[in-house]
Amino acid sequence: MEKLTKEAEMQMIEEIDALVRRAGRVIRDARPGGDAIHKKQGDANFVTDYDVQIQRELIAGLHKILPEASFFGEEDTEGNSHDTSGWCFYIDPIDGTTNFMFDYHHSCVSVGLSYAGEMLAGFVYNPYVEEMYLAIKGEGAFLNGRKLSLSDVPLNEGIAAFGCARYNADCTEEFFQVIRELFQRSLSIRDRGSAALDLCSIASGNNVCYFEIKLQPYDYAAAALMIEEAGGVITQMDGSPITLDGPCSIAAGTGSAHKELLEIVKERLL
């Protein structure tokens, strides 16, 4: 990792890991009721008091670990600066807020770290099943300490995942044509309500690909490194590199499934 000794890097990884697990326990133990849920801009878009509280705690804790870093987090809290030019943490305090509101037990904390626009580390933690995905640039992707390395499974031999949000309803007709095609060409399709977990599930071999028309860097920064370090591919839907300073479309998968996904998107959507 740039600018840090190996020892300092490992110490930092351990401290962030502990912080992310603590944030996950808040999600796991919470029971969000009516008063804690608030409407955000756009259709079917919500924030709970827990999203805000967890982001505040993560920013405070991460600031102590790396004081030079800025923060690109989902919620509008103090310290959220969206400056990606130097060290930057990408924070989604709860990815899968709608799942969280309805007690689905499928949400996670996602924290990514970049330096000058290059992802260096990613942490995605699902507290309900105590699964910690960790990616370190150049060293690999790990699930609870087990190194992940994906095989080049084609689309017709795996599960195709996708995400869609009512508040990002662009090209809905064309989008679902792509999903219909994925349904017909894969073993099965899923929208499990947490983009970060579905992307990490490519790294661990549960999903063969993932597609969504618009996501924010805090949704995918950590998981993108996970996929790349495990040997998969992640791009925008036209095949161009993903962006870390603003939203973009996400098409990810094993090499073969990603290639086929891009062909389907080109046929049906672009």
Say which entry of Ca ion, ligand IPD, none residue 253 contacts (CB below 5 to 8 A, set by partner kind): none
136, two tokens: 């370190």
Please tell me whether residue 32 binds ligand IPD under the rule CB under 6 A: no
Per CB under 6 A, the segment of 23-31, 81-89, 93-101, 149-157 that binds ligand IPD is: 93-101
Q: Which residues in 155-174 contact ligand IPD (CB under 6 A)?
A: 163-165
Q: Which of 70, 194, 204, 207 binds ligand IPD (CB under 6 A)?
A: 194
Please tell me whether residue 219 binds Ca ion under the rule CB under 5 A: yes
Q: What's the CA dihedral at 105, 201, 257, 222 to 10 degrees?
A: 110
Give the DSSP letter string of 69-86.
-EEEESS--TT-----SS
Give the DSSP letter string of 188-251.
EEE--S-HHHHHHHHHTTS-SEEEEEEE-HHHHHHHHHHHHHHT-EEE-TTSPPP-SSS-EEEE
Residue closer to ligand IPD, measured from CB, 56 or 156: 56
Residue nearest ligand IPD by beta-carbon distance: 163
Q: Which residues in 53-82 contact ligand IPD (CB under 6 A)?
A: 74
Residue closer to ligand IPD, measured from CB, 219 or 260: 219
Separation CA 116–CA 29 (nearest Å): 36
Please tell me whether residue 232 binds ligand IPD under the rule CB under 6 A: no
Residue closer to Ca ion, measured from CB, 194 or 204: 194
Separation CA 90–CA 88 (nearest Å): 7
Please tell me whether residue 20 binds ligand IPD under the rule CB under 6 A: no
Say which entry of Ca ion, ligand IPD, none residue 215 contacts (CB below 5 to 8 A, set by partner kind): ligand IPD
80, two tokens: 């959220």
Please tell me whether residue 193 binds ligand IPD under the rule CB under 6 A: yes
Exposure letters 238-262 (e unless 16+ CB within 10 A, then b): eeeebebeebbbbbbbbebbbbbbb
The phi, psi pair for 114, rounded to 5°, reads: -125, 160
Per CB under 6 A, the segment of 14-22, 90-98, 136-144, 174-182 that binds ligand IPD is: 90-98
Residues that bind ligand IPD (CB under 6 A): 74, 92, 95-98, 163-165, 193-195, 212, 215, 219
